């Protein structure tokens, strides 16, 4: 196993597998987000119900919030391994070529060249995203615990939050357009007969993913979705800054 990690191919395959875990999470995250599109609801917003359901999952067999924490630990592990592998590979790759003679671009895609840049920016975005909607530490718009729908609604009334999230989605799209197809190639799951399908399928997955993620902030910003009904947040908005 150590030998496998030491070899360039083995390390890249670990990077591919951890990448696949992260993409798998993104798909679930995107589907979960779409619960917001059901609006504030009569009694409770569907996305709030979904958030509670995630935390209550498995009760009473599992403790409260267990599944959420398992997912968080797995994701953190995957991201750390992904980054460690890439940093080591990039170092190796740079040592293999004289620094003052970069390879001329013949046909490589913008996405593939930008992988390191988009990846780095995405780490910054993930930190920001967690601070905003998980730890609720960014108080530009009113944020209240347990009020997912309201938090989203007020955040995406602001054009700059919409812009940040759409920009992040462009980064994700670029990173995954090269990354998802690359994963099949790196793991050797490709096959000359289905390579075209894998490439197009990867692009289609990325388009669906980005469109699904973009839908929620855009729907909030364009007022297609109604304001939340929770009184607590409304007083917070009209009153003193939280």
List residues near another protein by CB under 8 A.
3-4, 6-13, 89, 92-98, 101-109, 112-113, 115, 178, 181-182, 184-192, 195
Pick 8 or 235: Cβ nearer another protein:
8
Pick 43 or 95: Cβ nearer another protein:
95
Alpha-carbon dihedral 197, 198, 200, 206, rounded to 10 degrees = 150
Pick 6 or 64: Cβ nearer another protein:
6
Residue 7 three-state SS = coil
Pick 41 or 119: Cβ nearer another protein:
119
Minimal distance in Å, beta carbon 118 to another protein?
Answer: 13
CA distance 137 to 131: 5
CA distance 146 to 83: 32
Minimal distance in Å, beta carbon 233 to another protein?
Answer: 46
Minimal distance in Å, beta carbon 78 to another protein?
Answer: 19
Minimal distance in Å, beta carbon 177 to another protein?
Answer: 12
Q: 102 with 113: CB under 8 angstroms?
A: no
């Amino acid at each position: 196993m150590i030998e496998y990690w030491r070899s360039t191919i083995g390390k890249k395959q670990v990077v591919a597998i951890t990448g696949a875990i992260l993409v798998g999470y993104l798909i679930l995250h995107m589907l979960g987000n779409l619960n917001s599109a059901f609006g504030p609801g009569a009694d409770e917003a569907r996305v709030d119900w979904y958030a509670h359901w995630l935390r209550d999952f498995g009760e009473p067999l599992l403790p409260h919030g267990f599944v959420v924490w398992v997912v968080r630990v797995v994701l953190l592990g995957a991201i750390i391994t992904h980054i460690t592998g890439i940093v080591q590979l990039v170092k190796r790759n740079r040592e293999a070529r004289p620094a003052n003679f970069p390879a001329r671009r013949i046909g490589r895609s913008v996405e593939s060249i930008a992988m390191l840049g988009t990846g780095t920016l995405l780490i910054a975005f993930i930190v920001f995203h967690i601070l905003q909607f998980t730890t609720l530490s960014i108080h530009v718009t009113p944020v209240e615990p347990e009020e997912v729908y309201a938090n989203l609604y007020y955040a995406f009334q602001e054009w700059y939050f919409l812009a940040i999230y759409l920009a992040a989605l462009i980064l994700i799209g670029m990173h995954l357009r090269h990354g998802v197809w690359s994963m099949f190639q790196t793991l050797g799951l490709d096959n000359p007969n289905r390579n075209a399908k894998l490439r197009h399928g990867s692009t289609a997955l990325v388009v669906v993913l980005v469109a699904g993620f973009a839908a929620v902030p855009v729907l909030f910003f364009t007022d297609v979705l109604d304001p939340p009904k929770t009184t607590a947040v409304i007083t917070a908005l009209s009153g003193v800054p939280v």
